[in-house]
Amino acid sequence: MKPVLALLAVAACAGPSQGGDHVAAWISDTSSYGPALTPTVSIADRYREVAANILAAGHADRGAYAKLAFLTDRIGHRPSGSPELERAVAWAAQAMKDDGHVVRTEKVMVGHWVRGVEDAALLAPVARPLPVLGLGGTVPTPKGGLTANVVVIHDFAELATRAAEVKGAIVLYDVAMPPWSETKGHAGYGVAVPYRTAGPSLAAKLGAVGVLMRSVTPHSLHTLHTGALSYDPAQPKIPAAAVTVEDAELITRLAATGPVQVRLHLESQQLPDAESANVLGELTGREFPDEVVVIGGHLDSWDVGQGAHDDGAGCVTMMQAITILKKLGLQPRRTIRVVLFTSEEKGVWGAKAYAADHAAELGKTVLAVESDGGGFSPRGFSLASKPEIKDRVLARLTDLASLLQPIDAARIRPSDHAGTDVEPMIASGVPTLNLDSNNRTYFDIHHSEADTLDKVDPQQLADAAAAMAVLAYVVADLPERLDAPAP
């Protein structure tokens, strides 16, 4: 870390004078500066000084962590439809106003599911309590609970071959999430999660009366992890709950030698849709204010833990990114708009509403970036877009991202998926980015009681906001649009 800090310290000494207007002067009047400053000069060379200033200021800034501390410790978790989510909406709007930004909220109707009393027990071959956490959106069990034998399933192919045994049973999906790896990152989440989302209805189709899901996590200290399920309207809705990795493996071992009986009791309720809002805060552009760089995260969380990494961290990263720029007196050519999407977890309600409400201006949205992978030290960005613009956007971003080398966040990679909340904009031609981070522990705490502020490192969060501020500033300030054809 020492060389990085030294570099940042040097950059900090340069002060905020190398601002947007200064850079703009370099670019708009190339003739007086000779060939070295023609538009063929790399983006990184054009913005090197201002980027160093932003990184230095962001590295020393603790505003993102202060915001996250209020959101998590004073408001807490923020499930869709809850009063806490609406308190978070009001707080975020006020916090961005207090930082001097132009703020508005946009009404969105959202789903409202609430967890009730939940308990379960192993009845045979041993009797003991079985901690459970209902999957988001689950129907309740019949009053008093349901009791049935468990059929352990390891993949959908096995489900099909054991259809006769599944009828009248509780299906346990004991599917392990493969851990993070350097080459595949968290691709393992995509291996396990279809059993949580589609598994209940596929089991119901074969006559199962309930589902238990091995918590989707690569590492467990007896932690329960929830997450949304998605019922097939053509099938009966059956109750579904997560069990710990440890209990999934215990049941699997017991079931290998004889019948296992479980009692499951859930009292969840689906209430009428509730009113919520997306929160928008802007640093208005000085030259093309109607062209927009969207940077966002989702303000809601599950109803466990504090939603600290998921996705309080993403929200405060974006909020602080424009505040860092504002404090430095930087106003890019285009508008940078922070969008705090509501109700992502229970069906992406806020993002779908945003894409629909802003359909007419998506042609002027030059980029949309999301942070929804935790508030860890930044690694770079992954790009998902229409194929016809991908190469040129990738080329400009790769050039730009070299400005993030001092904090080791210069990796740019193409991807099929950038972020759930920005994804609805891709069809309108908007390139979308995910802020990638060193988040290998993210799924250890994701959607669990363990997603709390103590898991967030203030310095890593500050560097994420700094990286985001550099990227948003430069994309918003470039003379040419990010997706413009190469000259």
User: Half-sphere exposure of residue 45, counting CA atoms within 13 Å on the CB side?
Assistant: 9
Residue with smaller CB distance to Zn ion, 297 or 380: 297
Considering only 66-74, 116-124, 206-214, 310-318, which stretch makes contact with Zn ion by CB under 5 A?
310-318
Q: What radius of gyration do the chain's Cα atoms show?
A: 24
Residue with smaller CB distance to Zn ion, 311 or 463: 311
Residue 399 CA: distances (Å) to CA of 60, 205, 381: 25, 52, 12
Residue (of 265, 143, 128) closest to 210 by Cα position: 265
Question: Residue 461 Cβ, how far from Zn ion at the closest point, in Å?
Answer: 16
Residue with smaller CB distance to Zn ion, 122 or 308: 308
344 is catalytic: yes
Question: Residue 302 Cβ, how far from Zn ion at the closest point, in Å?
Answer: 9
Integer Cα distance of 207 and 440 in angstroms: 38
Q: Based on the shown chain and the rule CB under 5 A, indicate whether residue 300 belongs to the binding site for Zn ion.
A: no
Residue with smaller CB distance to Zn ion, 323 or 371: 371
Q: Based on the shown chain and the rule CB under 5 A, indicate whether residue 444 belongs to the binding site for Zn ion.
A: no
Q: Applying CB under 5 A, which of residues 311, 370, 421, 423 lies at the interface with Zn ion?
A: 311
Question: Residue 316 Cβ, how far from Zn ion at the closest point, in Å?
Answer: 14
Taking CA 350 as the corner, what is the angle to CA 444 and CA 483, rounded to the nearest 5 degrees?
90
Residue with smaller CB distance to Zn ion, 118 or 372: 372
Question: Residue 437 Cβ, how far from Zn ion at the closest point, in Å?
Answer: 13
Residues 370 to 399 in contact with Zn ion, rule: CB under 5 A: 372
Residue with smaller CB distance to Zn ion, 174 or 310: 310
Yes or no: say if 378 and 406 are a contact pair by the CB < 8 Å rule. Answer: no
Contacts of 9-16 with C-beta under 8 Å, sequence gap 24+, read: 9/56, 10/52, 11/52, 11/53, 11/55, 11/56, 11/406, 12/53, 12/56, 12/57, 12/60, 14/49, 14/52, 14/53, 14/56, 15/53, 16/53, 16/57, 16/328, 16/329, 16/330
Residue with smaller CB distance to Zn ion, 303 or 311: 311
Binding mask 332-371 for Zn ion (x = CB under 5 A): ----------------------------------------
- Give how many residues touch Zn ion by CB under 5 A: 3
Integer Cα distance of 49 and 198 in angstroms: 50
Integer Cα distance of 63 and 112 in angstroms: 32
Catalytic residue chosen out of the listed positions 344, 345, 370, 423: 344
Q: Based on the shown chain and the rule CB under 5 A, indicate whether residue 310 belongs to the binding site for Zn ion.
A: yes
Yes or no: say if 332 and 476 are a contact pair by the CB < 8 Å rule. Answer: yes
Residue with smaller CB distance to Zn ion, 18 or 434: 434
Considering only 31-39, 151-159, 304-312, 450-458, which stretch makes contact with Zn ion by CB under 5 A?
304-312
Residue with smaller CB distance to Zn ion, 270 or 420: 420
Considering only 104-112, 142-150, 247-255, 303-311, which stretch makes contact with Zn ion by CB under 5 A?
303-311
Q: Which residues bind Zn ion (CB under 5 A)?
A: 310-311, 372
Catalytic residues: 344
